Amino acid sequence: MKQVTISNPFITLIVLDYGAVIQKLLVKDDEGRYMNVVVGYNYPSQYPSDTASLGACVGRYAGRISNGGFNLDFKNYTLPTVNGIHLHGGNQGFGKKHWTIEEVNHGDEPFVRLSYFSKHLEEGYPGNLKATVTYKIRNNELYIIHEATTDLSTVVNLTNHSYFKLDNENSIDHYFLKLNCPKKVETDKNLLPTGKLTPVSGTEYDFKSARQIGKTRFDTPFATDDDSSFAAMVYSKRSGISMEVHTNQRGMVVYTPKGFPAICFETQNFPDAPNHPHFPSSVLRPNETYRNASIFKFDLVT
């Protein structure tokens, strides 16, 4: 297992070739001390037994797919399921694969690019898929750029699954959160989309104005607002660290795990889009390039 470190005066990033995992992301707090703002293991050897996708690139399809698969171009594709649900790419999704380190650059805008080749019908998905993820740091911003090409029409939805923890407290209740997401994707008891988008106004998920998270907990797909400068913003007054999430994706799953204090911002397409024709399309055709470009911008608040 290989480990790559890139850094500039604002950010230090440590990435693994296993799962294209972000193991550590160090930014400065309001006293100038470096703080790791993602949850991760100390040792790379611990990641193969991880069940929470800590910092991993999730694919070939991030999120849930219903009906045991999907139909594409009048052909049914069966995917592995647990209790009828296909999650995060199946039994051995991209977060459990060894990626190839394609390039490391330590220049003015350091980056590391990794790739993974997913063979036709791996986990049931059609097409030989070449996926890449580029982690780049520019000033106080982390760029995460997922790209993919295929030789046969397929579906793809890649995201990074980092759990952000902005201070050393044992809670996120005091974090302030703003979501430029006027609607969420309605889900059923199994967290599968019903096909409806519902307004967040008047619900516990209304964070259109910044407020403390409090007791709200999330496993919630939101529809991002195309007209907003950022999709999400979160900050802790106890560390002074704030983070904005910018993305070209139509969806963002906000997730707070039960076992530890942290919050995920999974920028992606809507879950189960292959089974909801009116959702933004997740279909990738030959000669097209899938691209998920997201930016995580860090700053200090008083």
Catalytic residue positions, numbered:
161, 266
Three-class HEC string of the chain: CCEEEEECCCEEEEEECECCCEEEEEEECCCCCEEECECCCCCHHHHHHCCCCCCCEECCECCEECCCEEEECCEEEECCCECCEEECCCCCCHHHCECEEEEEECCCCCEEEEEEEECCCHHHCCCCEEEEEEEEEECCEEEEEEEEEECCCEECECEECCEECCCCCCCCCCCEEEECCCEEEEECCCCCEEEEEEECCCCCCCCCCCEECCCCCCEEEEECCCCCCCCEEEECCCCCEEEEEEECCCEEEEECCCCCCCEEEEEECCCCHHHCCCCCCCEECCCCCEEEEEEEEEEECC
